[in-house]
Amino acid sequence: MTLNLAPITVRIMQMTLAAIRVIYADRSQLVLENLALRQQLAVYKRKQPRPRLNDLDRAFWTALKSQFSGWADALVIVKPDTVVRWQKQRFRNFWTRKSKPGRPCIPRRRIGFIRRISTDHPEYGEDRIALELKVKFGIEHSPATVRKYMVRPSRPRRDSLTWRTFLKNQADAIWSCDFCVQPTVRFTTLYLFVVMELGSRKVVHINVTEHPSLDWVKQQIRDASFEEQPKFLIHDNDGIFGQLGKPAVVEVNGKKVSCRSSFDVWLAEAMGIRGIPTPYHAPNANAHVERLIGTLRRELLDRILVWNERQLRTVVNEYVHWFNGGRVHQGIQGIPDPDPELPAPRPAAGELVAMPVCGGLHHDYRLVA
């Protein structure tokens, strides 16, 4: 960037000529000239908005403050406090440039080494790159300095299949299950067991019990798999599944399968289903059924009074029928298992009808002729 010094040079010459005139001028003429200038400044002071000052003007008044004792009385355009603030700001800027905060820069050649190594091997950490430079090149830098100049990939490379990719690729062959707790007005606790198909978001099975057990869960899986069964079943690490202290290895169709619970062993041996427990302290690994349970609570369970097991089973079955066949799901941009009449042609001049669901808590909207 080229700096234009012409305006600055003209200002300096004008100030020099004015100083010469002051030295050699007659005293009476100097007083009259000062009076005329003060009158003009008084008029100029009333101008709105005030004129803008540049860096040269600020530097002039900052230097004049240390040489002229009456500098505050001669100020018209700005206030004395403003000049003092300019001086403090120049002092802070000077020491900011002088101190140069932060780590000192390293030579560009060494920065190139770090960038080249981190680009060729994104899996290398700063400690390994620092050791590489020290052992092979005799260059010693702290890992923090190396981390500053490393090239980070936009998306880290992964050598294995991610959990999200696995769910996306095998969604149609995966079921997910979980428990939901519901208190009653008689201060008892009921347990809802939900089984969901990930690909279609369809609720495959739901049932209610007051005393859940491993045998009861096995029977629910048998009932849900009567017509079709999945390849994988995701569940959490609840104690009801019979957690094993040490994983057991089971051979299914010539393949060895590691099982962390008695439930997984039974799934592999009796049903031919691969049970997949979620990692510990990772509820997001089973996010689809967790979202389903949250929806079930917000749209149904938190709005009704539950008296007994029979009533709850009747209500949730009605809700699931509407959930699968009439409720739109944003995750799939549609309905999990739409009723046969929905794909049929709509009547051109149909009338909107709202059919109540769960006693009017929700409505199933249809067009009728």
Instruction: Report which of 295, 352, 297, 293 is spatially closest to residue 328, judged by C-alpha positions.
Output: 295
Distance (Å, rounded) from C-alpha 22 to C-alpha 29? 10
Distance (Å, rounded) from C-alpha 177 to C-alpha 167? 14
Question: What are 103's two structure tokens?
Answer: 């780590």
Per-residue pLDDT tens digits for 255-288: 888 888 999 999 988 888 999 999 888 878 889 9
Instruction: Report which of 184, 284, 278 is spatially closest to residue 233, judged by C-alpha positions.
Output: 278
Q: Give the pLDDT band (50/70/90) at residue 207.
A: very high
Distance (Å, rounded) from C-alpha 85 to C-alpha 79? 10
Residue 44 φ then ψ, to 5°: -70, -25
Per-residue pLDDT tens digits for 66-122: 666 666 666 666 677 777 777 777 777 777 776 665 666 788 888 888 988 888 888
Q: Given this model, what pLDDT does residue 1 score? A: 44
Q: How far apart are the first and last CA of the chain?
A: 76
Contacts of 251 by beta carbon, 8 Å cutoff, 6+ apart: 257
Domain covering 165-325 in this structure, CATH number: 3.30.420.10
Please name the residue that has the structure tokens 């997910």.
Answer: 176
Following DSSP, what letter does each residue of 41-97 receive, concatenated? HHHHHT-SSPPPP-HHHHHHHHHHHHH-TTHHHH--SS-HHHHHHHHHHHHHHHHHH
In one letter, which amino acid is 297? R
Distance (Å, rounded) from C-alpha 207 to C-alpha 192? 6
Strongest mean pLDDT among 9-23, 47-61, 96-110, 129-143? 129-143
Q: Do the Cβ atoms of 285 and 278 come closer than 8 Å? A: yes
pLDDT over 80 (residue 17): no
Residues in the chain: 369
